[in-house]
Structure 1
Amino acid sequence: MRKILKEDGASALKKGLAVLSCFSWSKSRRSLTEISRELNIPLSTTSRLTKALEETGFLERDQETKLFALGFNCYLLGSIAKKTGGLRTMALPYMEKLKEVFNETVNLYIREGDSRICYEQVESSYYLKRSAKLGDRFPLWAGASGRCFLAFMPEQEVIRHLDKAVSLTPNTILDKAVVLEKNRELRLKGFGLSVSEREQGVSSVAAPIFDPSPQPVACMTLSGPTARFTEEMVSELIAALKKTCLEISLKLGAERSAVSLLEGGAS
């Protein structure tokens, strides 16, 4: 009987977390019916779950529209996670320093499945800038940031990703041979450069971050309007970014010999 109760409790917990996962930047307010349909569970079950989450402060419900939104406890836990997250906490001071020097937006991306996710961001103070929202997902096959992950995958897996690639701009690279060569260059030089590959008029420079494993745990990127990414600025940026990613990688436990690609500048 105790085992059954525990399984029921675990099942209810999973369903409750699934309800919270229905909310996103683009869908910050949801109706009971929308949640029920998205999770494919009965309306009565959805009602019980949302009521419990509302009572415990994880959901809030507008009394006029009857729409749900994430509650204060979600905000509180998110704030704690952001403050105590190891990689994010370690990287943020470096990101702020890079932003101060170059005044371009600095992003930290991690990989999740077939996507890279914006894990942290320090925005440029320029009015014209490139920025993302925390949690935004992007494909691995487009841009310098994605290449930081692709470059260290087996070739067969890279091809699998490239088979899904579509043209996002006139500069999106769809030629598999070209992508594989750029991956090889990134493994040798320790950085990737993108010019309007994913967003027209946007350039970016990215470098991988390692822990003791051979796969990048994250990558750091500086991006902004192509007009500001002059040859001189990009050269200085590459050197500073590689140095930053090297220092973070060593702090995360990577062997210096394994991350020697991050030493030196743009050459």
Structure 2
Amino acid sequence: MAHSSTPEKTPEGDKERAGIQSVEVGFGLLDVLAKAPGPLMLRDLASAAGMSAAKAHRYLVSFQRLSLVVQDANTRYELGPATLRLGLAALSRLDAVKLARERLPTLMDQTGHTLALAVWGNRGPTLVHWQEIPLTMPVSLRLGDVMPLLSSATGRCFAAFMGHGGGYDKAQPMIEPELTLSRKLGRSDLPCTPVQVQAMLNETRAQGLGRVVNVLLPGISGLCAPVFDADGHMVLGVVSLGSSATFDADWQGPLARALRAFAAQLSFDLGWRGA
């Protein structure tokens, strides 16, 4: 009896192919949530993903069980803690982050202050590593937090250096909403006009650091130094922060010099040969 050279389809094989397709379809919902500026209603989420609300809901039920998606009090959907863990794990595997993490203990011994690492995420500068010095003032920041561009040392550093010297500045579209809020609140410690923003960015570039003193958090000061890759792109921010009573935020102080030196050496080791 002759045997066909074409493999016979089996129900099990069909299920396997259908399962793979389901993963791809379901990922569309996660992708929409990742790109959205905030939580979405079911109908809006389903429409953006190109599927019916009933079909989207079935996926979302499973995603909620896995903590990939959460639902707020207004029945809107948002990415859940499991997606944050996956994202942080992926970001932490970047060479720059890995190299910086290995060296942070030495910098902490040298400076005596809490340190953090930040990278540019889909919503802005995101904390991906945190190393707190014992017996210091607790700071209400955590892994995964997205730092504001105008009121944090980290944000100012990314806003100043990420698109500087060519290329599209991803920070620029995010600055205007913060400017609007700053004007609305009447904040005298923050830039309120584009001219003031430019002056702040120029100072940050001239000093080689982002800096805030009692701006984002009362009683807390911070500095952030940029790290560049071989192509001159800012890939990482090295952050130091602490109580303003003991934190030396002087542009030319020992802490500022230590951060600049750390970031410069890390940039050099990543291939950057710029000024």
> What is the TM-score of this pair, normalised by structure 2?
0.66
Q: 1:187-237: per-residue Cα shift (whole Å, max 9, x none)?
A: 233123211222222111111110123331221110112111246897111
Q: Give the structure 1 partner of residue 229 of structure 2.
A: 211
Provide structure 1 residue ranges, at least 5 long, that are not aligned to the other structure: 28-33, 61-68, 261-267
Structure number, greater radius of gyration: 2
* Residues 226 and 236 in structure 2, CA contact (< 8 A), matched pair in contact too: yes
The residue matched to 2:158 in structure 1 has which SS? helix
Residues 32-70 of structure 1, C-alpha deviations (whole Å, 9 max, x = no match) = xx985683463454335644896xx7779xxxxxxxx97
Structural mapping, 1:223-262, within 5 Å: 223-230=241-248, 235-255=253-273, 258=274, 260=275
**Residues 75-124 of structure 1 deviation map (CA, whole Å, 9 limit, x = unaligned):** 99678647643222111122222223333221211223562111211122
Determine what percentage of the aligned residue pairs are the same residue.
22
When normalised by structure 1's length, the TM-score is: 0.67
2:109 aligns with: 100
Gaps of at least 5 residues in structure 2 are: 1-17, 47-51, 70-78
Partner AA of 2:25 in structure 1: A
Indicate how the Cα distance of structure 1 residues 234 and 196 shifts in structure 2: closer, same or farther if over 3 A, else same.
farther
Quick one: structure 1 residues 234 and 132, their matched pair in 2 at CA, closer, same or farther if it must change by over 3 Å?
farther
RMSD: 4.3
Distance 1:130 1:99, change over 3 A: farther
Q: Which amino acid in structure 1 is aligned with residue 45 of structure 2?
A: L
Partner residue of 1:139? 148
Change (3 A) 1:47 1:131: same
Tell whether the 8 Å contact from 1:104 to 1:123 is kept in structure 2 after alignment. yes
SS in 2 for 1:139: coil
**Which secondary structure does the structure 1 equivalent of 2:253 belong to?**
helix
Aligned in 2, Cα 1:190/1:91: closer, same or farther, shift over 3 Å? same
Partner of 2:45: 39
Amino acid at match of 1:39: L
Whether contact under 8 Å (1:114, 1:139) holds in the other structure is no
Amino acid at match of 2:254: E
| Equivalent in 9, 25, 45 of residue 12 of structure 1 | 25
